[in-house]
Amino acid sequence: MDKKYMNCTRCELCATADVIYGTPFMEYSILLRLLTAPLATMGMGLLSATIVKTKGIHINTKVILFVLCISAITCNTGITIDCLYKFFISNVMPDYMQCDFQVFNPQYGLVIRHIEMLGSMCLSTSSIALAVERTVATIFYRNYPSKPTLGSILVVVQIHDYKFYHFITTWQALLNVLAISVFIILWIINYYRMKIIENSHLQVVLARYNLHENMSTTCLMAPIIVVLCLMVFSAELIILLFTPQYDEDTVVTHKVLDEVIEYSFYPELQLTLIPIFFIALILVLITQSKKLRENFLLVSNLSICFPVKVHTTDSRSSSESSSSEGSSSIHWNSKMDGLSITPQVPKF
Protein backbone atom coordinates (compact mmCIF):
# COMPACT_ATOMS: atom_id res chain seq x y z
CA MET A 1 0.00 0.00 0.00
CA ASP A 2 1.39 3.37 -1.02
CA LYS A 3 2.10 5.54 2.03
CA LYS A 4 1.04 8.76 0.30
CA TYR A 5 -2.56 7.49 0.32
CA MET A 6 -2.44 6.61 4.03
CA ASN A 7 -3.50 8.99 6.76
CA CYS A 8 -3.39 6.19 9.35
CA THR A 9 -0.53 4.31 10.97
CA ARG A 10 0.26 0.66 10.45
CA CYS A 11 -1.01 -0.12 13.95
CA GLU A 12 -4.38 1.44 13.14
CA LEU A 13 -4.71 -0.63 9.96
CA CYS A 14 -3.81 -3.81 11.81
CA ALA A 15 -6.25 -2.93 14.59
CA THR A 16 -8.99 -2.57 11.96
CA ALA A 17 -8.18 -6.05 10.63
CA ASP A 18 -8.30 -7.42 14.17
CA VAL A 19 -11.74 -5.88 14.69
CA ILE A 20 -13.06 -7.39 11.43
CA TYR A 21 -11.64 -10.88 11.94
CA GLY A 22 -12.25 -10.93 15.69
CA THR A 23 -16.02 -10.42 15.69
CA PRO A 24 -18.17 -13.37 16.85
CA PHE A 25 -20.07 -13.30 13.56
CA MET A 26 -16.86 -13.74 11.55
CA GLU A 27 -15.73 -16.65 13.72
CA TYR A 28 -19.07 -18.47 13.62
CA SER A 29 -19.56 -17.82 9.90
CA ILE A 30 -16.15 -19.33 9.12
CA LEU A 31 -16.98 -22.41 11.17
CA LEU A 32 -20.39 -22.71 9.51
CA ARG A 33 -18.87 -22.42 6.04
CA LEU A 34 -16.28 -25.05 6.90
CA LEU A 35 -19.23 -27.37 7.48
CA THR A 36 -21.63 -26.35 4.70
CA ALA A 37 -19.26 -25.57 1.81
CA PRO A 38 -17.73 -29.10 1.61
CA LEU A 39 -21.24 -30.59 1.90
CA ALA A 40 -22.46 -28.35 -0.92
CA THR A 41 -19.42 -29.27 -3.05
CA MET A 42 -19.97 -32.98 -2.53
CA GLY A 43 -23.73 -32.66 -3.06
CA MET A 44 -23.36 -30.77 -6.34
CA GLY A 45 -20.86 -33.36 -7.54
CA LEU A 46 -23.37 -36.13 -6.85
CA LEU A 47 -26.11 -34.06 -8.48
CA SER A 48 -24.04 -33.65 -11.65
CA ALA A 49 -23.62 -37.43 -11.90
CA THR A 50 -27.33 -37.82 -11.20
CA ILE A 51 -28.29 -35.43 -14.00
CA VAL A 52 -26.08 -37.28 -16.49
CA LYS A 53 -27.60 -40.62 -15.46
CA THR A 54 -31.24 -39.51 -15.37
CA LYS A 55 -33.30 -40.23 -18.48
CA GLY A 56 -36.08 -37.94 -19.59
CA ILE A 57 -34.01 -34.72 -19.47
CA HIS A 58 -33.12 -33.27 -22.87
CA ILE A 59 -29.44 -33.40 -23.81
CA ASN A 60 -29.18 -29.60 -24.16
CA THR A 61 -30.64 -29.12 -20.68
CA LYS A 62 -28.25 -31.75 -19.34
CA VAL A 63 -25.25 -29.91 -20.78
CA ILE A 64 -26.26 -26.60 -19.19
CA LEU A 65 -27.10 -28.21 -15.84
CA PHE A 66 -23.82 -30.13 -15.83
CA VAL A 67 -21.85 -26.90 -16.36
CA LEU A 68 -23.97 -25.28 -13.65
CA CYS A 69 -23.00 -28.06 -11.22
CA ILE A 70 -19.31 -27.70 -12.13
CA SER A 71 -19.58 -23.93 -11.55
CA ALA A 72 -21.21 -24.54 -8.17
CA ILE A 73 -18.44 -26.99 -7.26
CA THR A 74 -15.82 -24.39 -8.24
CA CYS A 75 -17.55 -21.65 -6.23
CA ASN A 76 -17.97 -23.78 -3.11
CA THR A 77 -14.41 -25.05 -3.40
CA GLY A 78 -13.21 -21.45 -3.42
CA ILE A 79 -15.36 -20.70 -0.36
CA THR A 80 -13.89 -23.72 1.45
CA ILE A 81 -10.30 -22.69 0.66
CA ASP A 82 -11.11 -19.10 1.69
CA CYS A 83 -12.41 -20.32 5.06
CA LEU A 84 -9.35 -22.48 5.64
CA TYR A 85 -7.10 -19.56 4.72
CA LYS A 86 -8.85 -17.16 7.10
CA PHE A 87 -8.98 -19.77 9.86
CA PHE A 88 -5.25 -20.46 9.47
CA ILE A 89 -4.37 -16.74 9.62
CA SER A 90 -6.56 -15.99 12.64
CA ASN A 91 -5.90 -19.10 14.74
CA VAL A 92 -2.63 -20.72 13.66
CA MET A 93 -0.36 -17.95 12.36
CA PRO A 94 1.57 -15.87 14.95
CA ASP A 95 0.07 -12.49 15.84
CA TYR A 96 2.91 -10.46 14.36
CA MET A 97 2.42 -12.11 10.95
CA GLN A 98 -1.37 -11.92 10.73
CA CYS A 99 -1.59 -8.29 9.66
CA ASP A 100 0.86 -8.79 6.79
CA PHE A 101 -1.35 -11.43 5.16
CA GLN A 102 -4.63 -9.70 6.01
CA VAL A 103 -3.75 -6.15 4.89
CA PHE A 104 -0.36 -5.62 3.26
CA ASN A 105 0.14 -8.90 1.33
CA PRO A 106 -3.35 -9.99 0.27
CA GLN A 107 -2.28 -11.67 -3.01
CA TYR A 108 -3.06 -15.18 -1.73
CA GLY A 109 -6.53 -14.12 -0.69
CA LEU A 110 -7.09 -12.49 -4.07
CA VAL A 111 -6.16 -15.72 -5.88
CA ILE A 112 -8.65 -17.64 -3.76
CA ARG A 113 -11.29 -14.98 -4.39
CA HIS A 114 -10.84 -15.41 -8.15
CA ILE A 115 -11.77 -19.09 -7.76
CA GLU A 116 -15.06 -18.05 -6.17
CA MET A 117 -15.63 -15.41 -8.85
CA LEU A 118 -15.02 -17.90 -11.66
CA GLY A 119 -17.75 -20.18 -10.33
CA SER A 120 -20.16 -17.40 -9.45
CA MET A 121 -19.92 -15.73 -12.87
CA CYS A 122 -20.93 -18.93 -14.68
CA LEU A 123 -23.72 -19.41 -12.14
CA SER A 124 -25.05 -15.90 -12.69
CA THR A 125 -25.50 -16.57 -16.41
CA SER A 126 -26.85 -20.13 -16.11
CA SER A 127 -30.43 -18.95 -15.60
CA ILE A 128 -30.23 -16.97 -18.84
CA ALA A 129 -28.87 -20.00 -20.72
CA LEU A 130 -31.66 -22.19 -19.33
CA ALA A 131 -34.26 -19.60 -20.33
CA VAL A 132 -32.94 -19.50 -23.91
CA GLU A 133 -32.83 -23.30 -24.15
CA ARG A 134 -36.33 -23.76 -22.74
CA THR A 135 -37.67 -21.06 -25.09
CA VAL A 136 -36.31 -22.91 -28.13
CA ALA A 137 -37.65 -26.20 -26.74
CA THR A 138 -41.11 -24.66 -26.31
CA ILE A 139 -41.19 -23.19 -29.81
CA PHE A 140 -40.00 -26.40 -31.50
CA TYR A 141 -41.54 -28.89 -29.07
CA ARG A 142 -42.87 -31.09 -31.90
CA ASN A 143 -39.47 -31.76 -33.48
CA TYR A 144 -36.87 -30.48 -30.98
CA PRO A 145 -33.55 -32.06 -32.13
CA SER A 146 -31.85 -34.45 -29.72
CA LYS A 147 -28.35 -33.07 -30.31
CA PRO A 148 -26.28 -31.03 -27.80
CA THR A 149 -25.59 -28.25 -30.32
CA LEU A 150 -27.60 -25.49 -28.62
CA GLY A 151 -26.44 -26.45 -25.13
CA SER A 152 -22.79 -26.43 -26.20
CA ILE A 153 -23.15 -22.99 -27.81
CA LEU A 154 -24.77 -21.54 -24.68
CA VAL A 155 -22.05 -23.02 -22.47
CA VAL A 156 -19.33 -21.49 -24.63
CA VAL A 157 -21.07 -18.11 -24.38
CA GLN A 158 -21.27 -18.48 -20.58
CA ILE A 159 -17.55 -19.20 -20.25
CA HIS A 160 -16.66 -16.41 -22.68
CA ASP A 161 -18.70 -13.89 -20.66
CA TYR A 162 -16.32 -14.33 -17.74
CA LYS A 163 -13.76 -12.22 -19.64
CA PHE A 164 -16.17 -9.27 -19.65
CA TYR A 165 -17.86 -9.53 -16.24
CA HIS A 166 -15.57 -9.94 -13.25
CA PHE A 167 -18.30 -9.06 -10.75
CA ILE A 168 -22.08 -9.03 -10.55
CA THR A 169 -23.47 -6.10 -12.53
CA THR A 170 -26.86 -4.49 -12.84
CA TRP A 171 -27.23 -5.96 -16.33
CA GLN A 172 -26.87 -9.47 -14.98
CA ALA A 173 -29.52 -8.79 -12.35
CA LEU A 174 -31.89 -7.46 -15.02
CA LEU A 175 -31.21 -10.47 -17.24
CA ASN A 176 -32.04 -12.79 -14.33
CA VAL A 177 -35.33 -10.93 -13.86
CA LEU A 178 -35.96 -11.49 -17.57
CA ALA A 179 -35.16 -15.20 -17.13
CA ILE A 180 -37.78 -15.51 -14.39
CA SER A 181 -40.35 -13.76 -16.58
CA VAL A 182 -39.51 -16.04 -19.51
CA PHE A 183 -40.02 -19.17 -17.40
CA ILE A 184 -43.39 -17.93 -16.16
CA ILE A 185 -44.50 -17.16 -19.74
CA LEU A 186 -43.27 -20.56 -20.98
CA TRP A 187 -45.18 -22.38 -18.25
CA ILE A 188 -48.39 -20.50 -19.15
CA ILE A 189 -47.93 -21.26 -22.86
CA ASN A 190 -47.31 -24.97 -22.21
CA TYR A 191 -50.28 -25.14 -19.84
CA TYR A 192 -52.72 -23.75 -22.40
CA ARG A 193 -51.20 -25.89 -25.14
CA MET A 194 -51.83 -28.98 -23.05
CA LYS A 195 -55.43 -27.90 -22.48
CA ILE A 196 -55.96 -27.39 -26.22
CA ILE A 197 -54.45 -30.77 -27.11
CA GLU A 198 -56.47 -32.61 -24.45
CA ASN A 199 -59.74 -31.02 -25.59
CA SER A 200 -59.04 -31.48 -29.29
CA HIS A 201 -60.63 -34.40 -31.15
CA LEU A 202 -57.41 -34.89 -33.15
CA GLN A 203 -54.97 -35.86 -30.42
CA VAL A 204 -51.44 -36.58 -31.59
CA VAL A 205 -49.72 -38.92 -29.14
CA LEU A 206 -46.16 -37.83 -29.93
CA ALA A 207 -46.98 -34.12 -29.66
CA ARG A 208 -48.75 -34.66 -26.34
CA TYR A 209 -45.78 -36.64 -25.00
CA ASN A 210 -43.25 -34.00 -26.11
CA LEU A 211 -45.32 -31.22 -24.59
CA HIS A 212 -45.63 -33.11 -21.31
CA GLU A 213 -41.86 -33.65 -21.15
CA ASN A 214 -41.30 -29.97 -21.92
CA MET A 215 -43.62 -28.92 -19.09
CA SER A 216 -42.03 -31.29 -16.58
CA THR A 217 -38.51 -30.10 -17.48
CA THR A 218 -39.55 -26.44 -17.24
CA CYS A 219 -41.12 -27.04 -13.81
CA LEU A 220 -37.97 -28.88 -12.69
CA MET A 221 -35.89 -25.81 -13.58
CA ALA A 222 -37.99 -23.51 -11.36
CA PRO A 223 -36.06 -24.03 -8.06
CA ILE A 224 -32.76 -23.67 -9.93
CA ILE A 225 -33.83 -20.32 -11.36
CA VAL A 226 -35.03 -19.14 -7.93
CA VAL A 227 -31.73 -20.02 -6.20
CA LEU A 228 -29.59 -18.45 -8.92
CA CYS A 229 -31.65 -15.26 -8.92
CA LEU A 230 -31.47 -15.01 -5.11
CA MET A 231 -27.68 -15.19 -5.32
CA VAL A 232 -27.48 -12.54 -8.05
CA PHE A 233 -30.00 -10.23 -6.37
CA SER A 234 -28.27 -10.45 -2.98
CA ALA A 235 -24.91 -9.58 -4.57
CA GLU A 236 -26.42 -6.68 -6.49
CA LEU A 237 -28.20 -5.42 -3.36
CA ILE A 238 -24.97 -5.44 -1.39
CA ILE A 239 -23.18 -3.56 -4.18
CA LEU A 240 -25.86 -0.89 -4.51
CA LEU A 241 -26.70 -0.27 -0.86
CA PHE A 242 -23.71 -1.17 1.30
CA THR A 243 -20.49 -1.13 -0.76
CA PRO A 244 -18.34 2.00 -0.21
CA GLN A 245 -17.18 3.73 -3.37
CA TYR A 246 -13.38 3.94 -3.43
CA ASP A 247 -10.79 4.26 -6.17
CA GLU A 248 -7.00 4.36 -6.49
CA ASP A 249 -6.86 7.97 -5.29
CA THR A 250 -8.81 7.38 -2.08
CA VAL A 251 -6.91 8.43 1.03
CA VAL A 252 -7.22 5.93 3.90
CA THR A 253 -8.56 7.86 6.87
CA HIS A 254 -10.30 6.82 10.08
CA LYS A 255 -13.64 7.35 8.41
CA VAL A 256 -12.67 4.97 5.62
CA LEU A 257 -11.61 2.34 8.14
CA ASP A 258 -14.94 2.65 9.98
CA GLU A 259 -16.80 2.20 6.68
CA VAL A 260 -14.78 -0.91 5.88
CA ILE A 261 -15.62 -2.39 9.30
CA GLU A 262 -19.33 -1.77 8.74
CA TYR A 263 -19.20 -3.19 5.22
CA SER A 264 -17.31 -6.38 6.15
CA PHE A 265 -20.47 -7.96 7.59
CA TYR A 266 -22.37 -8.14 4.27
CA PRO A 267 -19.94 -10.00 1.97
CA GLU A 268 -19.25 -12.53 4.72
CA LEU A 269 -22.99 -13.04 5.12
CA GLN A 270 -23.32 -13.63 1.40
CA LEU A 271 -20.49 -16.17 1.40
CA THR A 272 -22.19 -17.93 4.30
CA LEU A 273 -25.54 -18.15 2.50
CA ILE A 274 -24.24 -19.48 -0.84
CA PRO A 275 -23.49 -23.06 0.35
CA ILE A 276 -26.80 -23.12 2.26
CA PHE A 277 -28.63 -22.15 -0.94
CA PHE A 278 -27.02 -25.03 -2.84
CA ILE A 279 -27.79 -27.57 -0.13
CA ALA A 280 -31.41 -26.40 -0.14
CA LEU A 281 -31.45 -26.64 -3.96
CA ILE A 282 -30.28 -30.26 -3.87
CA LEU A 283 -32.92 -31.19 -1.31
CA VAL A 284 -35.69 -29.48 -3.29
CA LEU A 285 -34.69 -31.13 -6.59
CA ILE A 286 -34.49 -34.67 -5.23
CA THR A 287 -37.77 -34.12 -3.39
CA GLN A 288 -39.57 -32.71 -6.40
CA SER A 289 -38.48 -35.27 -9.02
CA LYS A 290 -38.84 -38.99 -8.41
CA LYS A 291 -36.35 -39.86 -11.17
CA LEU A 292 -33.70 -37.55 -9.73
CA ARG A 293 -34.34 -38.87 -6.22
CA GLU A 294 -33.91 -42.52 -7.21
CA ASN A 295 -30.78 -41.86 -9.28
CA PHE A 296 -29.33 -39.62 -6.55
CA LEU A 297 -29.75 -42.43 -4.03
CA LEU A 298 -28.09 -44.87 -6.41
CA VAL A 299 -25.18 -42.56 -7.26
CA SER A 300 -24.51 -41.64 -3.62
CA ASN A 301 -24.96 -45.25 -2.40
CA LEU A 302 -27.66 -43.99 -0.05
CA SER A 303 -29.86 -46.69 -1.55
CA ILE A 304 -28.41 -48.91 1.17
CA CYS A 305 -30.34 -46.86 3.74
CA PHE A 306 -33.24 -45.93 1.42
CA PRO A 307 -33.84 -48.93 -0.90
CA VAL A 308 -34.74 -48.20 -4.50
CA LYS A 309 -36.62 -50.88 -6.44
CA VAL A 310 -34.76 -50.64 -9.69
CA HIS A 311 -36.13 -53.75 -11.39
CA THR A 312 -39.69 -53.04 -10.35
CA THR A 313 -39.47 -49.53 -11.68
CA ASP A 314 -37.95 -50.67 -14.96
CA SER A 315 -40.51 -53.41 -15.50
CA ARG A 316 -43.33 -51.08 -14.63
CA SER A 317 -42.02 -48.39 -16.96
CA SER A 318 -41.54 -50.93 -19.75
CA SER A 319 -45.06 -52.27 -19.25
CA GLU A 320 -46.42 -48.74 -19.17
CA SER A 321 -44.54 -47.85 -22.34
CA SER A 322 -45.77 -50.98 -24.09
CA SER A 323 -49.33 -50.34 -22.95
CA SER A 324 -49.07 -46.72 -24.04
CA GLU A 325 -47.77 -47.81 -27.42
CA GLY A 326 -50.62 -50.29 -27.72
CA SER A 327 -53.21 -47.73 -26.70
CA SER A 328 -51.70 -45.17 -29.05
CA SER A 329 -51.81 -47.59 -31.95
CA ILE A 330 -55.43 -48.49 -31.14
CA HIS A 331 -56.26 -44.79 -30.82
CA TRP A 332 -54.59 -44.05 -34.16
CA ASN A 333 -56.34 -46.95 -35.89
CA SER A 334 -59.67 -45.78 -34.54
CA LYS A 335 -58.96 -42.31 -35.88
CA MET A 336 -58.11 -43.74 -39.26
CA ASP A 337 -61.29 -45.83 -39.24
CA GLY A 338 -63.30 -42.77 -38.27
CA LEU A 339 -61.87 -40.86 -41.19
CA SER A 340 -62.71 -43.82 -43.50
CA ILE A 341 -59.53 -43.57 -45.49
CA THR A 342 -59.24 -46.41 -48.03
CA PRO A 343 -56.28 -46.94 -50.30
CA GLN A 344 -56.85 -46.42 -53.97
CA VAL A 345 -55.95 -49.46 -56.07
CA PRO A 346 -55.03 -48.75 -59.68
CA LYS A 347 -57.42 -50.25 -62.17
CA PHE A 348 -56.12 -51.98 -65.23
Task: Report the domain count for the chain.
Answer: 1
**323 occurs within a structural domain:** no
Give the least confident one: 42-56, 242-256, 301-315, 327-341.
327-341
**331 occurs within a structural domain:** no
**189 occurs within a structural domain:** yes
pLDDT at 342: 42
Q: What is the dihedral of CA 240, 242, 248, 252, to 10 degrees?
A: 160
Per-residue pLDDT tens over the stretch 89-141: 888 888 778 888 877 777 777 888 888 888 887 787 888 888 898 888 888 87
Whole-number Å distance between alpha carbons of 125 and 129: 6
**321 occurs within a structural domain:** no
pLDDT at 8 over 80: no
**343 occurs within a structural domain:** no
How far, rounded to the nearest angstrom, does the alpha carbon of residue 283 sit from its chain's CA centroid? 13
* Nearest Cα residue to 64 out of 187, 149, 5: 149
Give the least confident one: 22-26, 186-190, 343-347.
343-347
pLDDT at 312 over 70: no
**334 occurs within a structural domain:** no
pLDDT at 161: 57
User: How crowded is residue 302: how many other Cβ atoms within 10 Å of its Cβ?
Assistant: 14
Average pLDDT of every residue of the chain: 78
Per-residue pLDDT tens over the stretch 73-93: 999 999 999 999 888 888 888
pLDDT at 173: 79
- CATH (domain of 68): 1.20.1070
Q: What is the dihedral of CA 116, 132, 50, 161, to 10 degrees?
A: -20
pTM of the entire predicted model: 0.78
**344 occurs within a structural domain:** no
When pLDDT is averaged across residues 172-200 and rounded to a whole number, the result is 82
pLDDT at 325: 44
Per-residue pLDDT tens over the stretch 190-227: 888 877 777 665 556 666 777 777 788 888 888 888 88
**12 occurs within a structural domain:** yes
Give me the domain span that covers residue 302: 3-309
